[in-house]
Amino acid sequence: MKENSKELVIVESPTKAKTIGGFLGRKFRCIASNGHIRDLPKYQFGVDISTFEPHYVVPRQKTKIANQIKKLASEAGNVYIATDEDREGEAIGWHILEIAKPKSYKRISFHEITKTAIMDALKHPREINSMLVEAQEARRILDRVVGYRLSPLLSKKIARGLSAGRVQSVTLKLIVDREREIAKFIPVIYFILTAGLTIKRTVVEAKLTKVEGKKLQLGITDQKEAERIKQESEQFGFTIQSVAERKISKSPNPPLTTSRLQQLANNRLGYSPSVTMKIAQSLYEGKKVNGKQVGLITYMRTDSVNIAQTAALAAREFIKKNYGEQFIPKTAPVYKNSSSAQLAHEAIRPTDIQKIPKLMEPFLDARELKLYTLIWNSFAESQMAHSVTDSMNISLSSGKTLWNAHLSSLKFPGWMIIEGKESEKKLIQIDKNDKAALKQLKIDRKETEPPARYNAASLIKTLEKEGIGRPSTYATVVTTLLSRKYIKKEKRAFIPEEVSYKVTDRLVEYFPKLMDLKFTAHFETLLDEVAQGKTKRVDLLNEFWGPFSQQLEKAMDMPSEKPEDIPTDEKCPKCGSMLVIKTGRFGKFLACSGFPKCKYTKNLNTDKVSGKCPKCGSELVKKTGRHGEFIACSGYPECKVILNETSKKCDSCGQGIYKIAKEDDLFCINKDCPSKTKNK
């Protein structure tokens, strides 16, 4: 067969192209579009507001790959569009077709990158789903309308370089509102009474729950009252009033969705949403295992908890063989999806349950292994039997007070065996006639705490609960707020910067609907309806644009709050004019007072980093730019070295290894590292 008659498969990423190409053999050629090949123009609005028709362009950096796709598509026997199976992937596939214009095409989709899944997909091609494309276009246009109309307004009225977004601004409001709740919070002091009792040689802790028949909601709020109850209870002693026993069956959590993966990875591993998705992407696209490139997990952008029947059956066989038949539920579990879930998708799971984390250890770096273990464990647990716990509630009286104690013992671990839990000793038999001997009675002083600041996990949980955005956008929203300096992160918690209060207040004042959670969630529902063919894209956009355009017109009269320039005694090294301190989206910076004739600027928002530049030996500094924080040489512009963090660790000192941007050399920036600078 001639080279130019090969079947052409087009995917999104080079890694995926390499993995899939290895499965398909020489009759196929697999290439990557490197994400979006066509989009709205970067520096123009790109939407006809009267008809909401988008004007798409091929970005300059995508011209080469676009031309290559055109050429190969014209020569290919068949063109297979194999982009991701979600709305964005469907839209990317449609854009590829618009560019390539092949004589015919076949759309193939799959949830995992394994040879079996790819071969099966080739046997069951379909057409591009125009409704999914419409929904993605509607979202893109909606976000463009908000961003391109609001961002210039905020930059003009509050501070240069500010941005706004349909989901971004509502998310920022959540963080600002929480910070204000914390600032207004007044703590309440209360006292908890706990009695240490011995019943049949078993130590039991009982807590005060009722005083004179009245149930305590918080505790005792008066210290003298707490002391009085303590003295009386020590005098009266304790009598068992009732003993209630029951068995508690606890089901495992459903398989992982995108949002829950991000939450668990943040809570258990400390990974940010963006880091989690980056690692998950690499596990999905393929890792080299025993000499073969293979995808280790299913598609990681999903809101569905469905599991393929073949995967469920394989899990049951694995569990039976490795743990025992008693750990298999009578029927394979079926979990309930949310109303907005795309039911054609699958939950996130390992592609092969036989690839246990221990076996994958040689083929994954530390972070990949931790995330893979989390995914594998979650899937295995979801397919196992319920755990069973023996529970005993003991009610005791002391004078006019009532106390409650609780004992429990894990009878059967079920799915908890994955976490290392085992069956525990059987509970002792306790009845009303048994005596309770008081060993100790203590008073603990407590005070109510303010609501916790949002971290990545709790913020994502709230966004999902409120129906704001979609799981695939959460990581981007958090990254944008951090990189734009709207919020900062301290001990994994998000704290709004001063400018965030101004931006939020002005948006709430002039754009109340845009900043309303229910209004934003309503449009997420409408986007789902567009994907289902129940609503037209143009109707959705018209419904949004009407009130938004009216609010936009009123907001033009918004009073300016831009900070004034601060003069300095320093002269511009380029033209000799005096320098001033300005405030932009990345914080304060020095600029020439002769702007726009002289455009000299100097970033003040830098922190020194322990280490030397691998090229010139100057100090390294941490800077903030449009893509977030990065490490660069302090000798800029003479030395333009930028270092990118990698997942590797230095063999000599254990610290992080960095890579010079656009180069292959790896460096440890620890100045005291015995391995010198360059790592091979």
Q: How far apart are CA 133 and CA 448, in angstroms?
A: 50
Residue 43 is a catalytic residue: no
Alpha helices in 430-560 (DSSP H): 456-466, 471-483, 498-510, 517-531, 537-555
Pick the catalytic residue: 80, 190, 271, 299?
A: 299
Task: Tell me the three state secondary structure of residue 387.
Answer: strand
- Unique residue bearing structure tokens 């009675």: 441
DSSP E strands, 46-188: 47-48, 53-54, 79-81, 105-107
Q: Return the HEC string of 393-457.
A: EEEEEECCEEEEEEEEEEEECHHHHHHCCCCCCCCCCCCCCCEEEEEEEEEEEEECCCCCCCEHH
Q: Is the dihedral of CA 338, 344, 345, 350 positive or negative?
A: positive
Measured CA to CA in angstroms, residue 188 lies from 222, 225, 448 at distances of 11, 16, 5
CA 212 to chain centre: 49
Q: Which residues of 349-373 are buried (b: 16+ CB within 10 A; e: fewer)?
A: bbbbbebbbeebeebbeebbbbbbb
Q: Give the integer Cα–Cα distance in Å for 589 and 605.
A: 7
Residue for token pair 């982009």 = 83
- Backbone torsions φ then ψ of 215, nearest 5 degrees: -75, 135
Q: What is the C-alpha R_g of the chain?
A: 30
Task: List C-alpha distances in Å: 60 to 40, 88, 96, 662.
Answer: 12, 21, 16, 19
Q: Per the structure block, which two tokens stand in for 286?
A: 């393929």
172 phi and psi, to 5 degrees?
-60, -40
Which residue, 393, 467, 454, 508, is CA-closest to 150? 508
110 burial (CB, 10 Å; 0-12 / 13-18 / 19+) is buried
- Nearest CA-CA partner of 474 in 178, 260, 173: 260
The size of the chain, in residues, is: 680
Residues with catalytic roles: 299
